[in-house]
């Protein structure tokens, strides 16, 4: 299944594979992608056949972070569709089943937050991490 072309889900035995699938944008998150991820987490949580989930990304990079044009006026305040689970674990119902994140390539900002909210994190040898909000905030104030 593919949630609005941004998040894929696939069952492998008792595991739900959840894939970030916005390759053309280096898997940068827009509002629709964040909502689709919350719905995929809800699918993992409510379906008794799944024992755990694996969060991964299609393409060469885990995520280029947030698409700032979508979140400029509401950074830190995310809205999710009815029934979704906040993948950042900041509010509302939380995922109770184990979730593993598998990261490769670039992993910026929200990708690190997503990793921190999972139970186990695995990084490929080519993984590169950065929190770049500070650079953006400093440039905006100059």
CATH number of the domain at 105, please. 3.90.226.10
Quote the CA–CA distance of 116 and 44 in Å, as a whole number: 18
Could you tell me the pTM of the whole model? 0.89
Structural domains counted in the chain = 1
pLDDT at position 3 is 52
Q: How far is CA 59 from CA 27, 81, 124, in A?
A: 8, 26, 13
Confidence of residue 91 (pLDDT cuts 50, 70, 90): confident
Kindly report, residue by residue over 10-43, the tens digit of the pLDDT: 999 999 999 999 999 999 999 999 999 999 999 9
pLDDT at position 40 is 97
State which residues form the domain around 47. Answer: 2-141
């Amino acid at each position: 299944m593919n949630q609005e072309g941004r998040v894929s889900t696939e069952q492998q035995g008792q595991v739900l594979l959840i894939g970030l699938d916005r390759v053309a944008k280096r898997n940068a998150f827009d509002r629709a992608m964040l909502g689709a991820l919350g719905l995929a987490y809800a699918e993992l949580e409510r379906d008794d056949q799944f024992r755990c989930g694996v969060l991964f990304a299609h393409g060469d990079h885990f995520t280029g972070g947030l698409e700032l044009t979508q979140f400029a006026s509401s950074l830190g305040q995310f809205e999710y569709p009815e029934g979704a689970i906040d993948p950042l674990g900041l509010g509302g119902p939380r995922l109770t089943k184990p979730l593993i994140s598998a990261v490769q390539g670039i992993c910026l900002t929200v990708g690190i937050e997503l990793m921190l909210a999972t139970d186990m994190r695995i990084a490929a040898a080519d993984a590169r991490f950065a929190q770049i909000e500070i650079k953006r905030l400093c440039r905006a104030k100059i």
